[in-house]
Amino acid sequence: MDDDQREFLTDLLATASPSGFETPAQRVWIEYVERFADDVHTDDYGNAVAVYDGGSGPEIAVGGHADEIGFVVTAINSEGYLHLAPVGGTDKSVSKARQVHVHTDDGPVNGVIGQAAIHVRDRDDAEYDDIEEMTLDVGADDEEDARDLVSVGDPVTVAQSPAPLRGSLLTGRGLDNRVGIWVAAETLRRAAERGAESTVYAVSTVQEEVGLSGAKMVGYDLDPDAAVAVDVTHASDHPEFPGNKHNEVALGDGPVVARGSTNHAAVVEAVRDAAADVGIDVQLQATGIRTGTDADAFYTSRSGVPSLNLGLPNRYMHTPAEVVDTDDLDAAADLLAAFAVEAAGRESFAVEF
């Protein structure tokens, strides 16, 4: 990952993008892909698509989702404190005592989700409050003062900046799934640099965390020959991972090819073959029922789009301290560019009988 690519990733991670309010992050993504795409367009809900026109080969969509989990202001009480609801799968066990940003029409407002000091809490109470029971303190004197600052419906994100760890590891909030849209953009750039004869759509979807909604729109609109949803997946290489949740995914061992359910056997085989041909290590993961990613929306679009979930190993998912290995991101972009190059000779990815 060169300095320009790293700066792009940092800009994506620094830009708040809760579900339903993805426009700022989409602007960052569009500004980057416009430099090498043949066309960039958006739809009415803000899904963004960048196109590399490779000619007569198949059309391949490679997408991630721009939105992140967070909160939304549901009410303002008479004392000037804000009540909240979760946006997406927000973890109540790591939500209290967090500095946050309330994203208002006039810009971000600083706040804190309250937590009573340990001195005055019942130390035997191990229960976590539901997010709807928590209150957000923006320092307002009363309700009128608070309403001058914020409004019901304003989204809220944790104030957590990305930070490097040892080696190629990176931590921050919202890695799920700004790393996926980084890979989608880089796949397009690298496919173009290699002269792939497939048409590649790099896609940055909205509202994945609240129901794969953007992918449903884009999948119908593009109707590609194949689609790859790039999203984070659970790494099990740390002591906090439950011992009864079996997988073999580790940071730094390469992108993860999912098998089963949504994942089309021909696309799985083609991506694995491309990895072998260019010497990229991949990991395997089983998905017995669903992937939980945009692939679940892509593959049922129209009469069916052969789809794959390509995973990026991630520790501590849906917390403000997610961890990925940036080498895995680079490898994923190289792999999918190679897949686009090698797919040029295919007529379709249909199952053969």
Handedness of CA 263, 264, 270, 276 (dihedral sign): positive
My answer on whether omega of the bond before 177 falls inside 30° of 0, hence cis, is yes
pLDDT at 352: 83
Q: What is the mean pLDDT of residues 317-324?
A: 97
Ranges of each domain in the chain:
3-68+173-345, 85-157
Do 85-157 and 3-68+173-345 have the same topology in CATH? no
Beta carbons of 234 and 246 less than 8 angstroms apart: no
Which residue is catalytic, options 22, 68, 208, 322? 208
Question: Whole-angstrom distance between the N-terminal and C-terminal Cα of the chain?
Answer: 42
The CATH number given to 3-68+173-345 is 3.40.630.10
**Per-residue pLDDT band at 243 (split at 50, 70, 90):** confident
> Is 119 flagged in the annotation as binding?
no
| Catalytic residue list contains 347 | no
pLDDT in tens, 166-225: 999 999 999 999 999 999 999 999 999 999 999 999 999 999 999 999 999 999 999 999
Residues contacting residue 102 through CB under 8 Å, at least 6 positions apart:
73, 82, 108, 109, 110, 111, 136, 138, 149, 150, 154, 155, 156
> Is 145 flagged in the annotation as binding?
no
pLDDT in tens, 25-77: 999 999 999 999 999 999 999 999 999 999 889 999 999 999 999 999 999 99
With the CA atoms of 293, 66, 179 and 312 taken in that order, what torsion angle do they form, in degrees rounded to the nearest 10?
0
pLDDT in tens, 276-302: 999 999 999 999 899 999 999 999 999
Token pair 């989409």 is found at 26
Q: What is the mean pLDDT of residues 329-343?
A: 98
Q: Is the pLDDT of residue 126 over 80?
A: no
> Is 125 flagged in the annotation as binding?
no
Q: Is the pLDDT of residue 125 over 80?
A: no
> Is 231 flagged in the annotation as binding?
yes
> Is 234 flagged in the annotation as binding?
no
Q: What is the 3-state secondary structure (H, E, C) of 278-325?
A: HCCCCEEEECCCCCCCCHHHHCCCCCCCCEEEEEEEEECCCCCCEEEE
pLDDT at 21: 97
Q: What is the mean pLDDT of residues 104-120?
A: 95
Beta carbons of 274 and 212 less than 8 angstroms apart: no
Share of the chain above pLDDT 70, in %: 100
CATH superfamily of 85-157: Peptidase M42, domain 2 (2.40.30.40)
Q: What is the mean pLDDT of residues 324-352?
A: 95
